[in-house]
Amino acid sequence: DPERLWCICRKPHGNRFMICCDRCDEWFHGDCIGITMSQGRQMEKSGIEYNCPKC
């Protein structure tokens, strides 16, 4: 659903990089939480989980 609201900003996906919290399964825009796409890819390769500010 392109109109679904995500992230702490409560805005749609908008074709921006997003990362999922490994605890609550909520999705966040990388730029809202300070994680770039390359950092997210490196986290995934290294097996590093992302936990959102709420978790």
pLDDT of residue 15: 92
For residues 19 and 53, what is the distance between their CA atoms, to the nearest angstrom?
Answer: 13
pLDDT computed for residue 23 by the predictor: 98
In the structure, how many helices (H) and strands (E) does the chain have? 2, 2
Nearest to 17 by CA among 36, 44, 42, 39: 36
| Cα angle 1-20-48, degrees, rounded to a multiple of 5 | 160
**Predicted confidence band at 2 (pLDDT cuts at 50, 70, 90)?**
confident
| Mean pLDDT, the chain, integer | 96
Domains of the chain with CATH codes: 1-54 (3.30.40.10)
The yes-or-no verdict on residue 1 having pLDDT over 80 is no
Determine the distance from the C-alpha atom of residue 3 to the mean position of all C-alpha atoms in its chain, rounded to a whole number: 17
**Per-residue model confidence (pLDDT) at position 6:** 96
The string of pLDDT tens digits covering residues 27-53 is 999 999 999 999 999 999 999 999 999
What is the rounded CA–CA span in Å between residue 7 and residue 45?
A: 23
